[in-house]
Amino acid sequence: MIPKKIPYGLSNFADLIESGYAYVDKTRYIELLENENNRYQFLIRPRRFGKSLFLTMLENYYDLLRIDSFNHLFKNLYIGKNPTSEHNSYAVLHFDFSGLNTDSHEEFKISFSARVEDTVRSFLFKYKEMINNSDFLLNSIYKNNLSIGALDIAYNVINSSPVKIFVFIDEYDHFANNLIAMGQSYKNEINAGGIVRSFYELLKIGAKSAVRRIFITGTSPMMLNDLTSGFNISTDYSLFPKYNEMFGFTNEEVEWILNETKMDKNLIKINIESYYNGYLFNNKAENRVYNPQMILYLFNQIFLLGGLPDNIVDANLQIDYERLRRLAEDDKNREKLLEIAKNEGIFGDIIEKFSIEKLNNNEYFLSLLFYLGMLTNGGKTKGRNWLKIPNYSIKTLYWEYIINYLRDSGANQINTNFLSNAISKMAYEGNFKTYLDIFTEDFLKRLSNRDLLNFDEKYIKVMILSTLFMSRLYLPISEDENINGYTDIYLQKHPVIKDIKYEYIFEIKYIKSDTGKKDLENAFSSALEQLKRYKKDKRYINNDYLKFIAIIFRGKGKYFFREID
């Protein structure tokens, strides 16, 4: 069998199938969606979860003009063997609201209007064989600058034909964050008279006649709920257990990709589950899922390089970091982000509906982080819902936020070259004291009194993880599972950098600045005992270059350490 190609970055279903890429079959969900009571459907997932690919798959399945390619595209997939009665029976109107101009509010309105007009013109041209006076209608839209009013022409055309419209809207809220950053612009657009609200009001009107089905994707329910009566006819299926795996890959599906692409599994020298898996959109769902683009990024890099890339974490996550930073401009939200980073999660409930006005409220902010993929369900503890950071890749976003927050809060004098050199000494010379000196002087001593209010060893730990991740020499792991517990920090050398000599396990304790020698000795006794237990793990036997270090921080200005043999 010819190996399939890795579909990293692809979102065109027909091209993917025809060009020999591996396609994880999600077509069984067509049947489920058709059987729902409400034909106007809405589903949210984080960025890079395969939403656009799914929509193009639906478009190929339902478009009446693509009936001749049905067998070619779907014959090997679930729905090709179990087709529904509605396949290839609609005129498809597909809106994509990514990439709009948001340089200013006025530019946005022009861009949004043009996108709607262009989509309707393409629709009329595509189905012109079943439309009377199609050339006249196309010229009318062009000459009269109808803006979103072009939708009325599409409705009128279809009402005079025996078919109905299936509307797809991809990335419905892609522009929302930029409008929010402009201040009043977002509110103007979701209120009466705004072009976005007017568009959805027209869509709602179309649902009474020409539009039979609607499927909308996005990353948050916020804008749709802010539109209120502007568009209140859809059902949000995002948190239904049966749709948990509709986007994303299960372990079984990842294994299928590896087999179909003939990937050499020996080249994957990291725990891919801990790096890219972990998403669960309902605690009652059976399987956690991988972010598809995260795992496909890794596979594609291995295919191109013949081994692991220098950057295990996809650089495209930087977009998510910028979103995280903007969300944390409010002091309460900032405190919650610090708490999440420190504890690798937080207790909270997911709220299905909320508006922008609620984002300063703790639960609504946590829900937004959940929808954006920054948190996911971690199960229940004593009746309380635990929301955890999904995986290592997302942890690095929090670490980056911590570092930049510390810089902005008074540690902006940090010499990153000194820090990099100190971490290099750790890696190649076994000298960790230089790093601890810099960490104490440039980070701990510069903490503000506000930062010290909730200061503890977990706070120190996440600061250390943040600084060490910057170096790219180590893949720092927090709470690494050991046969005798969970290590505070395991500094695992980067598998791509072959000449790194030393690895570390740090057990960290914190005591207040006014505590005496007895408290210091008690802290050391506890830390050293834990390290001795961890050292018995079979992974560490015969590793002469793994150092076990107990580190006690006293206040924010002093540290003490002891190493076990």
pLDDT digits (tens, 9 = 90+) for 289-304: 999 999 999 999 999 9
Q: Is residue 143 part of a domain?
A: yes
Q: How many CA atoms lie within 13 A of 546 on its CB side?
A: 19
Q: Is residue 337 part of a domain?
A: no
Mean of pLDDT values over 164-178: 91
φ and ψ at residue 285, rounded to 5 degrees: -70, 155
pLDDT score for 451: 61
Structural domain that includes position 434: 426-565
pLDDT of 89 higher than 90: yes
pLDDT 10s digits, 541-561: 888 899 999 999 998 789 999
pLDDT score for 401: 85
pLDDT score for 298: 95
Which among 472, 475, 481 has a CA at the least distance from the CA of 493?
A: 475
Q: Please give the Cα distance from 396 to 561 (Å, whole number).
A: 27
pLDDT of 414 higher than 80: no
Mean of pLDDT values over 454-464: 86
Q: Say if CB 485 and CB 510 are below 8 A apart.
A: no
Strands laid side by side in the 503-511 sheet:
474-482, 485-493, 503-511, 546-554, 558-564
pLDDT confidence of 95, banded at 50, 70, 90? Answer: very high
pLDDT score for 213: 97
Q: What percent of the chain has pLDDT over 90?
A: 57
pLDDT of 75 higher than 90: yes
In the three-class reduction of DSSP (H, G, I as helix; E, B as strand; rest coil), residue 345 is classed as strand
Q: Please give the Cα distance from 343 to 336 (Å, whole number).
A: 10
pLDDT of 452 higher than 60: no
Which among 249, 250, 237 has a CA at the least distance from the CA of 33?
A: 237
pLDDT of 390 higher than 90: yes
pLDDT score for 247: 96
Cα-Cα-Cα-Cα torsion 307, 308, 311, 314, nearest 10 degrees, comes to: 100
Q: Tokens for 537? A: 């793990």
pLDDT confidence of 375, banded at 50, 70, 90? Answer: very high
Which among 334, 326, 407 has a CA at the least distance from the CA of 372?
A: 326
pLDDT 10s digits, 224-268: 888 877 788 999 999 999 999 999 999 999 999 999 999 999 999
Between the alpha carbon of residue 169 and those of residues 51, 96, 329, 407, the distances in Å are 10, 6, 30, 40
Q: What is the CATH number of the domain that holds 533?
A: 3.40.1350
Q: Is residue 72 part of a domain?
A: yes
Rg of the Cα atoms in the chain? 27
Q: Is residue 253 part of a domain?
A: no
Mean of pLDDT values over 317-335: 75
- Domain end position, chosen among 243, 267, 287: 243
Mean of pLDDT values over 44-63: 96
Q: What is the CATH number of the domain that holds 66?
A: 3.40.50
- Domain end position, chosen among 226, 243, 260: 243
Q: Is residue 560 part of a domain?
A: yes
pTM: 0.92
Q: Is residue 456 part of a domain?
A: yes
Q: Tokens for 279? A: 């998403």
pLDDT score for 285: 95
pLDDT score for 449: 59
Q: What is the DSSP letter of 3?
A: P
Mean of pLDDT values over 47-74: 96
Structural domains of the chain, count: 2
What is the residue type of 506?
A: F
Least confident of 151-155, 324-328, 557-561: 324-328
pLDDT 10s digits, 184-229: 888 888 888 899 999 999 999 999 999 999 999 999 998 888 887 7
pLDDT score for 409: 65
Which among 181, 179, 214, 36 has a CA at the least distance from the CA of 102?
A: 179
pLDDT score for 238: 96
Q: What is the DSSP letter of 68?
A: G
Q: Please give the Cα distance from 553 to 488 (Å, whole number).
A: 14
pLDDT score for 134: 66
pLDDT confidence of 137, banded at 50, 70, 90? Answer: confident
Q: Is residue 38 part of a domain?
A: yes
pLDDT 10s digits, 473-487: 998 988 876 666 788
pLDDT score for 369: 93
Q: Is residue 288 part of a domain?
A: no
Q: What percent of the chain has pLDDT over 70?
A: 95
pLDDT score for 389: 96
- Domain end position, chosen among 193, 220, 243: 243
Q: Please give the Cα distance from 289 to 277 (Å, whole number).
A: 6
pLDDT of 168 higher than 70: yes
